[in-house]
Structure 1
Amino acid sequence: MFPGASADREQASYVVVGAPLDVSTTFQPGARFGPERIRRFARTYDDYDARTGRHFSDLAVHDHGDVRAWDDAAEYLDYLEGVVTDVRWDDAVPLLLGGEHTVTVAGVRATDPDVFVCLDAHLDLREEYDGNELSHATVTRHALDVADEAVVLGARTGSEAEWTRASESDVTVVAPEDVADWSPEFDSDASVYLSVDIDGADPGFAPGTGTMEPFGMTPREMRDVVREVAATGSVAGFDVVEVNDRDDGQAAALGGKLLREFVFADAAVADPDG
């Protein structure tokens, strides 16, 4: 169980769902261990948050546990989409724990957002990667099948074709050095899906990920983005993905902390007097 996620499902405002899919990783596998590691390395965090004056265990978070993954990514994503859809039907916000970034496709399909916001080292705008249309490298492309626009924060690499696609009007790319000056400017009635690919961080901060890319964001910059997007009160779904077991817990610790930051900030908007 994610620490502090002790609410009953029927009363939950947030539902943690582990999605340990690990079939398309192209460099360092191990994302299947991500959900367990994120939960494990969040155990040391204090329940109380001084910034919002709230206790995590009071914010009606439930842990659904892991949705066991299998090799057929398309079938798995369909099943996972159903699990996340049930969370939405219960008027709760899904909090997906990956697993490779491909699991985000299920989250986006289930929540049907207007805007897809992603912290990521990679554009993930490929139509396919090594012949695979359902790959961690195609996530933003699939998200745009649902969302009207995508904002990719921290991207610093991609193929020539991806950069060409990113130049179109429905994609905004914010370079790592510009993330600190970015603020969400969505329509007031726009719904948002927020995805955190842990490789958006510089690998010096989070080496436990599948495809490391230098010159990335700092944890504080990522925290500030998560807080600001959550503060819009428009987030229909959230995830942390691409954490693996190839470090001493740095990536998992950051992922768990960002999930908590999202919940604290979102809950403060939903119930200002809480």
Structure 2
Amino acid sequence: MFPGASADREAAAYAIVGAPLDATTTFQPGTRFGPDRIRRFAETYDDYDRRTDQFFTDLSVHDAGDVHAWPDVPEYLEFLEGTLRDVVWDDAVPLTLGGEHTITYAGVAAVEPEVLVVLDAHLDLRDEYAGNPWSHACVCRRVLEEGHADRLVVVGARTGSKAEWERADADDVTVVPPEATREWVTATNAGDTGLADVDSVYLSVDIDGADPGYAPGTGTMEPFGLSPREMRDAVRAVAPRSDGFDVVEVNDRDDGQAAALAGKLLREFVYAHAADSP
């Protein structure tokens, strides 16, 4: 169980679901261990958040355990979508622990937001990767093409194929490079980035959005990335506008740095979201 996620499902305002999919990870697999590691390395965090004057254990968070994965990715995503949609129908916010980034497709399909905001080193706008249209490198492309979100904002992106950058030039995609992240966060907090008038946002954190010096436990490391503080501030800015959240691409190839950051960002999401709720 995620530490502090002790609410009953019926009373939950937030529901954590693990999605340990590790079917298309490239370079360094291991995302199947992500949900367990995130839970484990969140054990040390204090219950109380001074900034928002809240206790995590008072915020009605439930841990529903894992939806165990199998190799048929489209079939698994369909099943996971149903699980997360049940959370939405119960008037709770789904918080998904990946698993590879492909699982975001299920979360977005369950929530059906207007805008998908992703913290990520990569654009994930490939039409296919290694012949597979359901690769983790294609998740943002699939979300847009299937109509599960109208717009995409990728914060921290610093790499992609030529075709991906051409797709990112379209009107439905905004790319915020790492060096512009602080300015974007400030503008978002001021209501100047186009999110203020949006009814629903889904926030996905790919842990490789962080510079690998901070979070080496991920499959496809990309230097010159975001600091943990920049990621925290972006999560705080977007969380009040969000109806779903996930953190993905944590593996077991470090000493817990990536998992610790992932667990902290989940807690930051909940604190910020709950503080803004009526």
1:240 counterpart residue number: 247
Q: Deviations over 1:112-159 (max 9, x none)?
A: 000000000000000100010101100111121311110000000000
Secondary structure of the structure 2 residue equivalent to 1:193: strand
1:93 counterpart residue number: 93
2:121 counterpart residue number: 121
2:77 counterpart residue number: 77
2:267 counterpart residue number: 260
Distance 2:37 2:143 in 1: 26
2:38 counterpart residue number: 38
Partner residue of 2:199 out of 180, 190, 195: 190
Of 186-195 and 121-130, deviating more is 186-195
* One-letter amino acid of the counterpart of residue 133, structure 1: P
- Equivalence map 1:65-214=2 (5 Å): 65-144=65-144, 145=146, 146-182=148-184, 183-184=187-188, 185=193, 186-214=195-223
Deviation at 1:189, TM superposition (A): 4.1
Secondary structure of the structure 2 residue equivalent to 1:161: helix
Secondary structure of the structure 2 residue equivalent to 1:18: strand
Partner residue of 2:228 out of 219, 238, 258: 219
Deviation at 1:230, TM superposition (A): 1.2
1:20 counterpart residue number: 20
Distance 2:268 2:243 in 1: 16
Secondary structure of the structure 2 residue equivalent to 1:240: strand
TM-score by length of 2: 0.96
Secondary structure of the structure 2 residue equivalent to 1:137: helix
Which stretches of structure 1, 4 residues or more, deviate above 6 A after TM superposition?
Answer: none
Q: Deviations over 1:67-108 (max 9, x none)?
A: 000010011000000000000000000000000000000001
Structure 2 stretches lacking a partner, 5+ long: none
* One-letter amino acid of the counterpart of residue 75, structure 1: E
Contact residue 122 and residue 159 of structure 2 kept, 8 A: yes
Q: Aligned Cα RMSD in Å?
A: 0.8
Q: Deviations over 1:189-248 (max 9, x none)?
A: 4210000000000000000001000000000000000000113xx211100000000000
Secondary structure of the structure 2 residue equivalent to 1:266: helix
Secondary structure of the structure 2 residue equivalent to 1:102: helix
Q: Percent identity?
A: 70
Distance 1:82 1:169 in 2: 30
Distance 1:143 1:59 in 2: 30
TM-score by length of 1: 0.97
Secondary structure of the structure 1 residue equivalent to 2:101: coil
1:62 counterpart residue number: 62
